[in-house]
Structure 1
Amino acid sequence: MAELRIAFVPGVTPDKWLDRWRERQPGVPVQATMHDIGDDPRGLLATGDADLVFMRFPDGVNPADGMTHVIPLYEELPVVCAPREHALELYDDEVPLEELAEETWLDLADYPPRVGGTAMALEVVGAGTGLVIVPQSVGRLYRRKDVVQKIVTGAPSTRIGVAWLKPVGDEPEDPRVEEFIGIVRGRRANSSRQPSVQERERSAAAQAQRRRQRGDQSAAGAPRPGRGKKGGGPGGKSSGGKRRGGPARGRR
């Protein structure tokens, strides 16, 4: 079976799902690649560069469209990033967004992947140019010693989901994709909803059917037990009864 290709945005850690795939499907290789091409990498599905993608979208937004299935997975908390020795360090855990109204903010749109993306934006933050809000997982990925991060309340959160192409016309779903989606959903290895289990059950049923057919054919070709001619020999009457043609023995 062909290799399964997975793409994911920065901050996603798909290792647990990949490990389960390798345990259950050792004969099907899987390749997972991070793509810092923005939060919506579904273009990789359209070009055939990925079979599934883990994408990021605003919480509360339904990202499904006519081309792809999308399953929301988990919410990401937003964090505000500021340079060290900023007043942000005075907060224990969280900071309300309204208390940062007077701050200078960076726009992540000004830092596309070709100029370094979010990693470059955080480098600019560390230089004291401004603040930026990113998902907590992204902040952890690009953590810097010269940048402090705090969860910010009142800011929109994001959500991670997994997306794949819808079949065209009467085409069936890709069984590799269905198998991986089942793993992401938490299905057990022996779940009857997993394509691999369904295939094993079909194979076992087909083998049982072939065995029954061979048994029926063998039974049809075997000689049937029936009644022979009267008597104990293969070709005549029984030799029991009175003997003829010889002297009779009697008492003297």
Structure 2
Amino acid sequence: MTGSDVSPSFRLVYAPGVMPGKWVRVWNERLPGVPLTLTQVPAAETGGMLLAGDADAALVRLPVDRTVLSAIPLYTEQTVVVVPKDHLVTAVDEVSPEDLADELVLHPLDDVLAWETLPGKPALERPATTADAVELVAAGIGVLVVPLSLARLHHRKDLTHRPLKDAPESSVALAWPEAATTDLVEDFIGIVRGRTVNSTRGRTQPRPSAQEKQEKAGRADKGGAGRRQAAGGPAGRGRRKGTGGTPKDPRRGKPRRGS
């Protein structure tokens, strides 16, 4: 099978917690002939997959390397603290870093928040993943600070969360290799930006050739001539000025016969 015989496809990867479902549904409606392959990968691996050519675009957590990747920020998530349901902080609607001063705050190796100083007391070891940290919180060993979507992704009936103010936040963006802005990438950009199917701001529109411009001008000239002819009728058969369009009475102007 040659390269031209291969059906086009679009490979999209996304970081945990990101919910691409609504955009994938629109894609399937607009481009039913182009299958979209959707793969969840660790947040730290999304950029590498793009640069390696293993994905066409990615829903990533910022920051990314803007020297080689193009990115469109989509939204910023609220930061929350995950705690057991019987924890003291559940008595308030919002938590401050000072409220966690005496807490063991877990810091997983795949954390996506850019902390300058982590609140609370540090654990002796960092959990390998956010999922591992959630298990420790459920066991009563510390609390965990994450973006809201990750708290929902790892939801457990025995855990809950509260907003944490004055904490770093995580922003989600659509990213792709700057040197590989394909038509399909432009199509997906249009979808995430909410453009309609008829919008011309998606993929680049080709410029008309000189021949196409001449043909278009010719059609316009013919259309104008047709409208002029319809307005005046066939040549030489228009109304004469002052006649009003009424046929002349043939009896007018003839002398009367004497009686």
Alignment of 1:169-180 (within 5 A): 173-180=181-188
Alignment of 1:99-118 (within 5 A): 99-109=99-109, 110-112=126-128, 117-118=129-130
**In the alignment, what sits opposite 1:79?**
80
1:156 alignment partner, one of 168, 192, 197: 168
CA distance in 2, matches of 1:194, 1:105: 45
- Quick check: 2:95–2:163 contact (8 Å CA) kept in 1? yes
SS in 1 for 2:185: helix
**In the alignment, what sits opposite 2:61?**
56
1:128 aligns with 2:140: yes
**In the alignment, what sits opposite 1:228?**
none
CA distance in 1, matches of 2:64, 2:45: 9
Alignment of 1:1-252 (within 5 A): 1-35=7-41, 37-39=42-44, 41-57=46-62, 63-91=64-92, 93-109=93-109, 110-112=126-128, 117-167=129-179, 173-195=181-203, 198=205
RMSD over aligned Cα atoms: 2.5
- Quick check: 1:40–1:55 contact (8 Å CA) kept in 2? no
Relative distance call for 1:183 and 1:202 in structure 2 (3 A) is: farther
CA distance in 1, matches of 2:181, 2:21: 24
Relative distance call for 1:177 and 1:30 in structure 2 (3 A) is: same
Relative distance call for 1:175 and 1:202 in structure 2 (3 A) is: farther
SS in 2 for 1:95: coil
SS in 2 for 1:17: helix
Question: Which amino acid counterpart does residue 137 of structure 1 have in structure 2?
Answer: S
Relative distance call for 1:16 and 1:202 in structure 2 (3 A) is: farther
- Quick check: 2:106–2:127 contact (8 Å CA) kept in 1? no
Query: 1:40: Cα distance to partner?
Result: 5.4
Query: 1:194: Cα distance to partner?
Result: 2.2
Query: 1:76: Cα distance to partner?
Result: 0.2
- Quick check: 1:84–1:126 contact (8 Å CA) kept in 2? no
Query: 1:83: Cα distance to partner?
Result: 2.1
Q: Aligned residue pairs: how many?
A: 194
Query: 1:209: Cα distance to partner?
Result: 5.2
What whole-Å deviation, never above 9, does each CA across 1:51-106 have from its counterpart, x for those lacking one?
1111113xxxx644211001111010001011231102211x21122111111111
- Quick check: 1:64–1:70 contact (8 Å CA) kept in 2? no
- Structure 2 unaligned spans of 5+: 1-6, 110-125, 219-259
Question: Which amino acid counterpart does residue 23 of structure 2 have in structure 1?
Answer: W
SS in 1 for 2:146: strand
Query: 1:32: Cα distance to partner?
Result: 1.2
SS in 2 for 1:6: strand
Query: 1:182: Cα distance to partner?
Result: 1.3
CA distance in 1, matches of 2:85, 2:20: 31
Structure 1 length-normalised TM: 0.70
Relative distance call for 1:10 and 1:149 in structure 2 (3 A) is: same
Query: 1:186: Cα distance to partner?
Result: 1.6
What whole-Å deviation, never above 9, does each CA across 1:226-249 have from its counterpart, x for those lacking one?
xxxxxxxxxxxxxxxxxxxxxxxx
Question: Which amino acid counterpart does residue 10 of structure 1 have in structure 2?
Answer: P
**In the alignment, what sits opposite 1:232?**
none
CA distance in 1, matches of 2:22, 2:12: 14
**In the alignment, what sits opposite 1:220?**
none
